Chains A and B, each alone.
Chain A
Amino acid sequence: MLPQDGIVRPEDVASVLPPEERLAQGPVAIAECFQNIPCDPCYHNCKQGAIQEFKEINDRPQIIFDKCNGCGTCMSRCPGLAIFVVDATFSDSEAIVKIPYEFLPIPDVNETVTAINRAGQAVGEARVVRVQNTKVQDRTVIVWLAVPKELMLEVRHFKVRGVQ
């Protein structure tokens, strides 16, 4: 369980997933934040008003999926790097997973990387589609990975080839 080993489980994720219909409509954020901690930058930084107002600073983010356009602004503000954006409409076979990334080297577009799941295990290959690294993101890079569609709810990290 998460409090024992730090591994986010499918049953944890199930409670924060957008409905199937919303996933099928395009990019949407998923906040994998499962603990009530005093933290609220995601709410303050969402320009779409897609994160429900916090009554109390310990509230967990509740994403209003219909208002979320998957822009990812919240991702680079989350101190826990716990928000991801998934776009199931990328192609027939592939989905995009946007990953907040704070390691070096930063991969290049079109580079193939090893896709990693929440337990730190390699689950396949992914292709870097885009790298967002603007000043506003303040050194939290967002890497867009194209992954086989069936892995879009599993891949949450990646390793650059040849780097341990």
Chain B
Amino acid sequence: MKYTEVAIVGGGPAGLTAAMSAAKLGAEVILIDRNDYLGGQLIKQTHRFFGSKQQRASERGIDIARELSDQVMNIPNIQVMTEATVLGYYEDGVLLVEQNKKIITIHPKRIVISTGGAEKTLLFPNNDLPGVYGAGAVQTLVNVYGVKPGKKVLMVGAGNIGVIVSYQLLQAGIEVVAIIEAAPKIGAYWVHAAKVVRAGVPILTRHTIVKAHGEREVNGATVVRLDENWQPITGTQKKLDVDVICLSVGLTPLSELLWQAGCKMVYVPELGGNVPLRNEHLETSVPGIYVAGDVAGIEEASAAMMEGSLAGLEAAASLGYTSETLQENLRDVLEQLKGLRSGSVGEKIRKGMEQVSLG
């Protein structure tokens, strides 16, 4: 059995900042990630981020990943475990971890769960054909492994991920035949949309995919226009010549560990699915278990980093660690989170957040 003060499950943007802020206050930290690298989804995000200066706006995800991981690796009181999967949480507060085919048990005083999200999929005939991918997979192939998934792509979903991945496909020299979106409006930031449209990709709102064509692999897709009640309009079917169908229809929190730990959960569509109730310290209904990032509600990487900082500070502070600037740092993070969630684009998140408070 390993003992530590704070265990962090997931080394994406939230986990990395949680580890850093807890360790900087003095806590002894173990950061666990199932991949062989740290950075989570940041490692494939070649585009510049939005947000403010403090949240590293205008920097690219890939660079933030590298910098945060380097910092975390160089903080002596953080032990990093990669290629390590947390398999379970036991009621005596023990995490069961598999690494190199060995089982390791860890008994932390506090746990920050920052396991991120999983992509949702879409139901349509032939959606199991090779050539139908999640946007995350396509992004990994293209931006991490340098592999083209195909020649002609249909992107399903015009949220930020769908539009950004389309842009990255264009950068890799792959044709994006169209981006379709069932909603009447583009969900992505309009500047991103404008950027792919002027590069030659049509965005068709009120459109959905009817079926994928092909015997052994995708060789086409039929799309259809939707009316105001989201019903297909007869006669508007169109067959597109594509060999890749890329699904970008949202993410859902990866919450298994929270369920297992018995955290009180609530279904909040605005946050992507089942999320844990939490107090203002990001502590769940199970004392000592904190959440940060997409597992607490699907948002942007910048919000995940802020939540990570907050959870890390709070977890360490609850163990008695403090600093002269602790209160100020906490206020600052909360202020920044508020800023990120302000305005009309943050409305959905604010609505979601209203439903998750432990009080």
- B170 close to A6 (CB less than 8 A): no
Which residues of B lie under 8 Å from residue A57 when comparing CB positions?
A: 51-52, 339-340, 342-343
Distance of A139 Cα from B57 Cα, bound (Å): 15
The answer to whether A41 touches B53, judged by C-beta atoms less than 8 angstroms apart, is yes
Q: In whole angstroms, how far apart are the Cα atoms of A139 and B60 in the complex?
A: 10
Interchain CB contact (< 8 A) of B50 among A37, A102, A104 = A37
Distance A140 CA – B49 CA, assembled complex (angstroms): 13
Residue of B nearest to A56 (CB): B342
Give A86 to B189 CA distance when docked, in angstroms: 24
Quick one: closest A residue to B49, CB to CB? A79
Report the separation of the CA atoms of residues A104 and B236 in the bound assembly, to the nearest whole angstrom: 36
* Chain B residue contacts of A120, Cβ below 8 A: 197-202
Question: Is the pair A38, B190 in contact by a Cβ cutoff of 8 Å?
Answer: no
Report whether over half of chain B's contact residues are helix, strand or loop; otherwise say mixed: mixed
B190–A3 touching, CB < 8 Å: yes
Minimum Cβ distance to chain B for residue A154 (Å)? 11
Residue B326 lies at the interface, judged by CB distance under 8 Å to chain A:
no
Contacts of A116 in B (CB 8 A): 198-200
Q: Mark each residue of chain B from 153 to 197: 1 if its CB lies under 8 Å from any CB of chain A, else 0.
A: 000001000000000001101010000000011100111111111
Is the beta-carbon distance between B60 and A138 smaller than 8 angstroms? Answer: yes
A130 at the interface (CB under 8 A from B): no
A49 contacts chain B at the CB level, 8 A cutoff: no
Q: How far is the CB of B145 from chain A (nearest CB, A)?
A: 18
A81 to B299, CA, bound (A): 22
B47 touches A119 (CB 8 A): no
With A3-B190, A5-B203 already in contact, the answer to whether A38 and B198 are too (CB < 8 A) is: no
Q: How far is the CA of A110 from the CA of B60 in the complex (A)?
A: 31
| CB of B44 to closest CB in A, whole Å | 15
Q: State the Cβ distance, B127 to closest chain A Cβ, in Å.
A: 26
Whether B184 lies near A4 (C-beta < 8 A) is yes
| CB of A157 closer than 8 Å to a CB of B | yes
Of B47, B51, B201, B344, most A-chain CB atoms within 10 Å: B51
Q: Is B345 an interface position by the 8 A CB rule?
A: yes
A42 → chain B closest CB, angstroms: 9
Interface string of A61-79 (1 = CB under 8 A from B): 0000000000000000111
Residues in chain B near residue A78, CB distance under 8 A: 48, 58, 191
Is the beta-carbon distance between B52 and A157 smaller than 8 angstroms? no
Residues of A within 8 Å of B204, CB to CB, are 5
Interface check B150, CB cutoff 8 A: no
- What residues make up the interface of A, taking CB atoms closer than 8 Å to B? 2-8, 32-41, 44-45, 56-58, 77-82, 102-104, 116-120, 138-140, 156-157, 159, 163-164
Given A40-B52, A120-B200, 14 more pairs with CB closer than 8 A: A3-B190, A5-B197, A6-B196, A33-B191, A41-B58, A56-B342, A78-B58, A79-B47, A80-B191, A81-B191, A81-B195, A119-B198, A120-B197, A140-B48
Q: 25 A-B pairs, CB-CB below 8 angstroms?
A: A3-B185, A4-B205, A5-B197, A6-B194, A6-B196, A33-B191, A35-B190, A36-B343, A38-B340, A38-B342, A40-B52, A41-B58, A77-B48, A79-B58, A82-B195, A102-B171, A103-B170, A103-B171, A104-B173, A118-B198, A119-B198, A120-B198, A120-B202, A138-B60, A157-B199
Question: Interface of B with A (CB < 8 Å)?
Answer: 47-53, 57-58, 60, 158, 170-171, 173, 175, 184-186, 189-205, 339-340, 342-346
